[in-house]
Amino acid sequence: MTDRAFAVVRAGALTTVQDGGRPGHAHLGVPRSGALDRPAAALVNRLVGNPPGAAALETTLDGCALRPRCAVTVAVGGAPCAVTVDGCAAAWGTAVRVPAGALLEVGPAVYGVRSYLALSGGVAVEAVLGSRATDLLSGLGPPPLADGAVLPLGVAPLGHARVDTVPQPGPPRELILRTTPGPRADWFTTAALRTLLTRPYRVSSASNRIGLRTEGPPLERATTGELPSEGMVLGAVQVPPDGHPVVFLADHPTTGGYPVVGVVGEADLTTAAQAVPGTVVRFVGAGLWAGA
């Protein structure tokens, strides 16, 4: 077997194909999607010689196992985890050569949530709207990996980054989200805004690629009426009827009917991608918060 492809031996809890996403289609109801930890995905791609936006694999919590049908250079980054080739320990965070037919295993995250596996040539599934990313909300892109699936690889690059290892930031012990006022901040009481910006929350186990859900003090609304659906952006902090803020991530809906109290800057959403359930979340005020 020398074709440029790999077989999925163990898909894991949720392993998806992700790249830079498909920005610019929100008016069609299509979110950007793409890798949640974009710097980690770009780094492992660089380590194997791929362009930063090449399609890689994003694993969730418990890793995956693959068997390439050709010799391939790989790199694993993001959430730290064990990496083995045919049962022998291999390096995390650097380029590793995997022979054809060998078993490559990406183990469970030691801490953090999402690990990224780049393979030289990138995952060459069919692009939809210019991206190979799996979008869990709209269903665009390839389905999450399943045991026994075979995925194609692109043409191998001529070389890879000639470094022994590259430092990567670890998952956050405390998640700091710099937040500007949202379009419906006035729908909440002054006390609620003060609560949002001064009280700690925790990451809920119900979080996913669509949104980071929080547990903590509910936010009291000053306006109790219904809100027509409005456009939603990446990082929007939407507050459903239970009062617990939800931070929209890459697969978020492009419209929504619950009020948006704030917006988290994209730079802080990278760390949100690696925050395990129970991580302390602090919304830090940025910009002008009236009454807070």
Residue of 169, 142, 174 whose CA lies nearest to 16: 142
Q: What is the pLDDT along the chain (292 residues), one digit of tens a residue?
A: 459 999 999 999 999 999 999 998 888 889 899 999 999 999 999 999 999 899 999 999 999 999 999 999 999 999 999 999 999 999 899 899 999 999 999 999 998 999 999 999 999 999 999 999 999 988 999 999 999 999 999 998 877 666 655 666 667 789 999 999 999 999 999 999 999 999 999 999 999 999 999 999 999 999 887 788 999 999 999 999 999 999 999 999 999 999 999 999 998 998 899 999 999 999 999 777 766 6
pTM beyond 0.85: the answer is: yes
The answer to whether 107 touches 84, Cβ cutoff 8 Å, is yes
Alpha-carbon distance of 80 to 119, in angstroms, equals: 17
Domains and CATH numbers, the chain: 5-152 (no CATH), 174-285 (2.40.100.10)
Strands 280-285 and 174-181: parallel
